[in-house]
Amino acid sequence: MSVTKSGQGRRKAPLSPWKNKKPKEAKVLPGVASLDGRWGFLFVAPFFFMFLVFGLAPVIYSVYISFFQWDPLGGSTFAGLHNFYNLIHDSDLWLAIRNTFSIWALSTFPQMFMAIGFAAILRNKRLKGKSFWRTILLVPNITSVIAITIVFQQLFGRDFGMINYVLTLFGLGHHIDFIEGVIPSHIAIATMITWRWIGYNTLIFLASMLAIPDELYESASVDGASKWKQFVYVTLPGLRNTITFVIVVGTIGGLQVFAEPQQFAPDGGSSKQFLTLTLFLYNQAFVNNKYGYAAAIGIVITFIVMIISAVNFLITRKISDAGSR
Amino acid sequence: MRKGWSAKSALAIGTAVLVSVGIFSSPAKAAAEPMTITIWTFGDVIQRDLVQQYKVLHPEITLEIKKSDLDPLNGTALVTSCADYLRTKRLGTPPDVVAIEVSYSGYWRSYPQCFQDLRQMHTSDANVAGGIVAGKSATDMKKDYLGWRWEHGVGYNDSVIGIPTDVGGLEVAYRVDLFAKAGLPTDRVAVGKLWPTWDAFIATGQKYMKKLSATQKKSGMGFIDNVGTIYAAILNQGTAKYYQNNGTDAGKLIYTTNPQIKNAWDTTIKATTAGIGTRIGQYTADWNTGMNKGTFATILAPAWMMDYIKGQAPDTKGKWDIANLPVSGGNQGGTQLAVPAWSDKKQAAFDFISWYLAPAQELYVFKKYGLFPAASSLYDDAALLNYKDAFFNNAPVGKIYTEGVTKLKPIFEGKLQRAIDQAFGAGLGRVAAKKMTSAKSWEQVMKDLQKVVNP
């Protein structure tokens, strides 16, 4: 309201009917217009309060813990950089980094191609039962991870699993051990992650595809482009930012993979072949009771995420620059 | 309109509150103060039947049973609660009773400060009607329970932190039909005589394997479900595992020098190289399928596993039988009930525990659910000794498990028991998967353990 008042006060006479109309339109939303900066703080305060209590405080506390031999139930002694020194020399850390990135790559990229494919199918205007398909795609995402793992363990069973059964039907290998093998176990875990997240990503790609103006497709087809060429030259460039988004979100999720390998084997496999970073952290804290060491692992994970975020940021900027050119 | 709606909903909520309060508070007698006892448990430790019986005894007490899917054995939640208590000394936060699984007993025995010393508690006259004499402390109860199971609930400083619920025991469940096909004896006494030692057990397995056809072998059939289970069985037959009690909370680590460990490792490797196992992991989908298909002829089975077999392979009824474990008895599993130091209802909690774990109740649970009692005062009870199981070819399971569990000796468990067990298990897994030789894998275990035990 104050805005409209001062606006009218400064101007003596309306210059044109258009200008006259504008202040009237603003009147429709007096509530929002009257809010000044101070009220804004009140509205965002709940988030920042929760963030400080449940987000920032534990982070600071775990940085503190990482400099100690920390026993929550007994005495704790200051250890300086001892935990970090040990961590760098711990072969398990490097193994966990290898496993985490391998599982991340195996789950993110195939999933993205499939999700774009599904989205392209769902975008089809002649598809029957659209909302049914869109809904059903999200079902794996709301299913419990534990339930998914139990079902997939049956599928991936070495002796009686369905996947091994199908493979032997085609004469491909016999009784692949999806738990003991390094790559097979990564594939099995990546499959579970893909199964859970593919529907979510499909919907994101679908939303992004629906935002591409129909005119572009029309003019492309007037120019004689086939469906495939339309997909390559109209759809994919339009998805550029979404692809980056999906990769960024996938990376953050990928560094937190925990429940799937933990359900496969709590120690990450006999030779730690699918020990991921978060599982490594969890086991150090809650099996080996090395809380300080686990906190140090948490900090290393944070640094890895920061590096990846920086790389992502640079790539995103480059892509959006290229897009705007 | 809005106003009308909210008035209506307020009315509805009000009615719901009135109704629920009415339902839940009506049985309470006016004389006793209503009280809620929170119990953190898992699996079948707290049986619904007995909870209802206790409700009849004590209408004023509500037992709030909590189970966690994410933290099934109350590991992390209890650490957090205890750390909170040690820092603030605040009483009255949950739980009032907590179930501690045997794998965690080593850890909690190092932290007796988290629990009420039950030697200092005395039963009140609250459960006299339920057969519990007033004035009994844990010291008085000790004689009613199996010695080595009692020790799982004794802190390194001799305080009693938990009272045992059941004992796993460990015997050999075997398939009568498959033994007959392989030309082995089928009578349970004769079968038990096949393997006075673990070496004889492995030799029997090799005999069984020779009778299998090439296609049967190729389809993954074996004598025992998982040779890895032999390791823990042998370890529990000794008098010490990884630790020795030296009166400190850390305990003395003896895993490098204890010959029992090397013996258990070597025997397990021998069974692995003999190829008598199917390498199927227990509690996996393959295991459940194999149980039905007769993929393996033996399982080292604790008493509570009998119920699992019945549930997973109901069609194999009468095809199973139970024979003695080689050398002596065995154990796998078991639980203690403890009262955390921060409970403000310790008396009521102790009264509940002393009633719930009294021999009479443990016998009831055994008959109804098959959990084998840790109350050794029952072991000459006819009801237990004469108990036979039709599913297991009418084997006198009560008698067999009783004999087995009384043969074991107490073993001191230490703080890092679980982590050390995990490292040895992984080491045996590497050999079984043919990723490493036995010697190399042992070396790797020692290296991994250095990281575990050194700060």
Which tens digit of pLDDT belongs to each residue from B340-363? Answer: 999 999 999 999 999 999 999 998
Read off the pLDDT of residues B155-211 as tens digits, 9 standing for 90 and up: 998 999 999 999 988 999 999 999 999 999 999 999 999 999 999 999 999 999 999
- Please tell me the predicted confidence (pLDDT) of residue A19: 52
Whether the per-residue pLDDT at B270 is higher than 60: the answer is: yes
Structure tokens at A120: 């392209």
- Please tell me the predicted confidence (pLDDT) of residue A7: 43
SS3 A35: coil
- Whether domain B29-167+334-378 has CATH 3.40.190.10: yes
Give the residue with greater pLDDT, A14 vs B238. B238
Whether the per-residue pLDDT at A76 is higher than 70: the answer is: yes
Domain ranges for chain A, please list them: 84-324
Q: For residue B163, which of B241, B225, B105 has the smallest C-alpha distance?
A: B105
Domain B171-331+400-453 CATH (choose: 3.40.190.10, 3.90.850.10, 3.40.630.30, 3.10.50.40): 3.40.190.10
Q: Is A72 close to B281, i.e. CB distance below 8 A?
A: no
The Cα of B83 is separated from the nearest Cα of chain A by a number of Å equal to 5
pLDDT-derived band at A16, boundaries 50, 70, 90: low
Name the region of B330 (left: φ>0; alpha: ψ -120 to 50; beta: rest): beta
Task: List CB contacts (< 8 A) between B82 and chain A.
Answer: 72-73
Domain A84-324 CATH (choose: 2.40.10.220, 1.10.3720.10, 3.40.630.30, 3.40.30.10): 1.10.3720.10
With an 8 Å Cβ cutoff, is A84 touching chain B?
no
Q: Summarize the confidence of residues B111-122 as an average pLDDT.
A: 94
Q: Is B426 close to A161, i.e. CB distance below 8 A?
A: no
- Please tell me the predicted confidence (pLDDT) of residue B24: 43
User: Do residues B12 and B66 lie in contact, with contact meaning Cβ atoms separated by under 8 Å?
Assistant: no
- Please tell me the predicted confidence (pLDDT) of residue B445: 94
Read off the pLDDT of residues A126-162 as tens digits, 9 standing for 90 and up: 888 888 888 888 888 888 888 888 888 888 887 778 8
Whether the per-residue pLDDT at B1 is higher than 50: the answer is: no
Give the residue with greater pLDDT, B110 vs A309. B110
Question: How high is the mean pLDDT of chain B?
Answer: 87
Domain ranges for chain B, please list them: 29-167+334-378, 171-331+400-453
Whether the per-residue pLDDT at A82 is higher than 60: the answer is: yes
Q: Summarize the confidence of residues B417-440 as an average pLDDT.
A: 91
Read off the pLDDT of residues B23-70 as tens digits, 9 standing for 90 and up: 444 444 445 689 999 999 988 888 888 999 999 999 999 999 998 876
Read off the pLDDT of residues A256-282 as tens digits, 9 standing for 90 and up: 899 889 888 888 888 899 999 999 999
With an 8 Å Cβ cutoff, is A76 touching chain B?
no
Give the residue with greater pLDDT, B119 vs A10. B119
pLDDT-derived band at A20, boundaries 50, 70, 90: low
With an 8 Å Cβ cutoff, is A79 touching chain B?
yes
User: Do residues B361 and B269 lie in contact, with contact meaning Cβ atoms separated by under 8 Å?
Assistant: no
With an 8 Å Cβ cutoff, is A162 touching chain B?
no
Q: Which residue of B has its CA nearest to A165?
A: B219
Whether cis (ω within 30° of 0) applies to the bond prior to B314 is: no
Q: Summarize the confidence of residues A3-21 as an average pLDDT.
A: 49
- Please tell me the predicted confidence (pLDDT) of residue A322: 66
pLDDT-derived band at B130, boundaries 50, 70, 90: confident
